[in-house]
A and B are shown apart, each in its own frame.
Chain A
Amino acid sequence: DGGITQSPKYLFRKEGQNVTLSCEQNLNHDAMYWYRQDPGQGLRLIYYSQIVNDFQKGDIAEGYSVSREKKESFPLTVTSAQKNPTAFYLCASSTGLRNEQYFGPGTRLTVT
């Protein structure tokens, strides 16, 4: 079955540590995205990538980094510079303009 996988589902880290969230898709989609969702809030775009080896900052990129070395993979690193990293992180992909996005199941990150 085609889809997007995110791992792990739950992640716990100590403050000051970097952490990488995985996102893999086998839909052959060109575009991939990372969103952050806080309780009762909508989606906020962190980074997006339209093609391999290229990515752009979204609305809240500070404290995050990404890479796009393969079409299928778009990992997100939450660095120690991110002031409030505890949140639900969603990865998505899409193909072509005007088309819908496919979302992964999300990773809930808790930093203490």
Chain B
Amino acid sequence: GDSVTQMEGPVTLSEEAFLTINCTYTATGYPSLFWYVQYPGEGLQLLLKATKADDKGSNKGFEATYRKETTSFHLEKGSVQVSDSAVYFCALSLSGGSYIPTFGRGTSLIVHP
């Protein structure tokens, strides 16, 4: 079946460090790919998305490129801030069939001053 695998956390960084959170997927078709962010005690918010191969999603300094050849959608940011501390979820959604997206388990990011 379809699945999303994220690197285990927590990822602990100092402020202004470079961030990479790995995400790989398995899907039977050509999915749309998403990164969501969850701040403590809140719901998830869409961070960025990409709907086809080689698309780059970007928002708030975060970027991810849809790599069909490696089935990956790694999240990157050049310089993290303390306010980026949150849990990040990678997800995929397929056309056809049901409306159920598939989520990764989430990766906690802790940024120290």
Q: A residues engaging B (CB < 8 A)? A: 4, 6, 31, 33, 41-43, 45, 48, 50, 56, 58, 90, 92, 94, 97-106, 108
The answer to whether A42 touches B43, judged by C-beta atoms less than 8 angstroms apart, is no
| Inter-chain pairs besides A33-B100, A98-B32, 11 sampled, C-beta below 8 Å | A42-B103, A43-B44, A43-B89, A43-B106, A56-B98, A92-B43, A99-B32, A100-B34, A101-B44, A101-B46, A106-B43
Report the nearest A residue to B34, measured CB to CB.
Answer: A100
In the bound assembly, the distance between CA atoms of A70 and B10 in angstroms comes to 40
The answer to whether A105 touches B43, judged by C-beta atoms less than 8 angstroms apart, is yes
| Interface size, chain B (Cβ < 8 Å) | 25
Contacts A98-B32, A104-B43 hold; do A45 and B100 have CB atoms under 8 A apart?
yes
In the bound assembly, the distance between CA atoms of A9 and B38 in angstroms comes to 16
How many Cβ-Cβ contacts under 8 Å join chain A to chain B?
63
Chain B residues 32 to 49 lying within 8 A of chain A, measured CB to CB, are 32, 34, 36, 41-46, 49
Give 21 CB contacts A-B under 8 Å: A6-B43, A41-B106, A42-B103, A42-B104, A45-B100, A48-B99, A48-B100, A50-B98, A58-B100, A90-B44, A97-B93, A97-B94, A97-B95, A97-B99, A98-B51, A98-B94, A101-B36, A101-B101, A105-B43, A106-B43, A108-B41
